[in-house]
Amino acid sequence: MPPEGGTTNFNPPNNGPLTTTMEITMNPNEIEKLSFAIIDKEAGPHEFDPEAWSIVRRMIHTSADFGYMQSVCFHPDAIRAGIRAIRTGKNIITDTEMLRAGIRKKSLEKFGGKALCLIGDPDVSDASKKAGTTRSHEAVNRSVKHMEGGIYAVGNAPTALLRLIELIRKNRAKPTLVLGFPVGFVNAAESKALLTELDFPYITNKGRRGGSNIAASVVNALIILAEQQTGRK
């Protein structure tokens, strides 16, 4: 083991970074920069435009799963809608506290928006027991007034996404963008397939994979894009 602040030999797998020396004291920004360079190299040629790739690359960075390059689905208006929602100070609603915790809230708040999650509210729990539904389902119901013009991000519960789709179809919920990344074996893939049938801005993926970390990575990529656009003006 080298002394603190020293270096160690590192043999990266799969023809990783071209250097054979890894600094023990690399800071988070350096690690992220190197990670993105590795992803760009291993991803090879692709057809994503720069904004879409910045989102997909962050999904890969979060999961180490290049499969998202094939499974991700973008509505044509999704990125523009998400950036607009963030820059105009609209809320981001999440289906889990884990997802909310992963969002760059300080950056979001600079635009005037908040990251909200109602899954733990006592009223949500009581309503779900009375109605015989899930808390995720009821949290969507209680979030309607908070999501108007904003972003609803689902990273766990298919029941949340299914209820949100139902309310959007009935014109009772009016977010600007839906991020659909529920994970699991029961209705995860099916709910995402239904989302892609909507003529409504969405970002999602095909199949069972997903999760709060993936949904948070997409939110954060959109926040960074919003910051970059602000910086250009």
Render pLDDT for 176-193 as a digit per residue (tens, 0 to 9): 999 999 999 999 999 999
| pLDDT tens, residue by residue, 159-170 | 999 999 999 999
Residues in the chain: 233
pLDDT at 26: 74
60 occurs within a structural domain: no
Residues with active-site annotation: 61
> Picking from 48-57, 94-103, 122-131, which range would have the lowest pLDDT averaged per residue?
122-131
Neighbours of 45 (CB within 10 A): 4
In a domain, 24, yes or no: no
For the ranges 31-35, 80-84, 219-223, which has the lowest average pLDDT? 31-35
Residue 3, domain member (yes or no) = no
Output the DSSP codes for 156-195. Answer: S-HHHHHHHHHHHHTT----SEEEE---SSSSHHHHHHHH
* pLDDT for 79 beyond 80: yes
User: How would residue 27 be classed by pLDDT, with cut points 50, 70 and 90?
Assistant: confident
Kindly state the average pLDDT of the residues 24-36. Answer: 84
Residue-by-residue DSSP string for 204-215: EESSS---HHHH
pLDDT band, very low/low/confident/very high, at 6 (cuts 50, 70, 90): very low
Q: Is residue 160 part of a domain?
A: yes
Which range of residues forms the domain containing residue 180? Answer: 66-231
Whether residue 138 is contained in a domain is answered as yes
| pLDDT interval class at 3 (50, 70, 90) | very low
Distance of CA 15 to the CA centre of its chain: 29
Measured CA to CA, the distance from residue 72 to residue 85 in angstroms comes to 21
Asked whether residue 150 is domain-assigned, the answer is yes
Average pLDDT, whole number, for the chain? 90
| H or E segment to which residue 201 belongs | none
Q: What DSSP assignment string belongs to 31-75?
A: HHHHHHHHHHHHH-S----HHHHHHHHHHHHHH--TTHHHHEEE-
CATH code: domain of residue 198:
3.40.50.10230
Whether 1 maps to a domain, the answer reads: no
Tens digits of per-residue pLDDT, 202-212? Answer: 999 999 999 99
Distance of CA 14 to the CA centre of its chain: 27
Which three-class secondary structure state does DSSP give residue 116?
strand
3-state helix, strand, coil in the chain (%, to 5): 50, 10, 40
Q: For residue 4, is pLDDT > 50? A: no
Phi, psi angle pair for 152, to nearest 5°: -110, 120
Describe the strand order of the beta sheet including 72-74 as a list of residue ranges. 72-74, 202-205, 177-180, 151-154, 92-94, 115-116
Mean pLDDT on 6-31: 57
- pLDDT at residue 159, as a whole number: 96
Q: Determine the average pLDDT of the residues in 116-142.
A: 94
- Phi–psi pair at 177, nearest 5 degrees: -150, 140
pLDDT at 7: 38
* Contact predicate 203/218, CB 8 Å: yes
Token output for 202: 């969405």
The structure tokens listed for 174 are 């009016």
* Res 5: pLDDT: 38
Instruction: Classify each residue of 83-110 as buried b or exposed e, where b means 16 or more C-beta atoms within 10 Å of its C-beta.
Output: bbbbbeebbbbbbbebbbebbbeeebee
Answering whether pTM is above 0.95, one says no
Output the pLDDT for position 17: 52
Is 22 a domain residue? no
Q: Which pLDDT value is given to residue 230?
A: 82
Helix (H, G, I), strand (E, B) or coil at 22: strand
- Provide the number of structural domains found in the chain: 1
Give pLDDT, residue 10. Answer: 42
pLDDT band of residue 28 (cuts 50, 70, 90) is confident
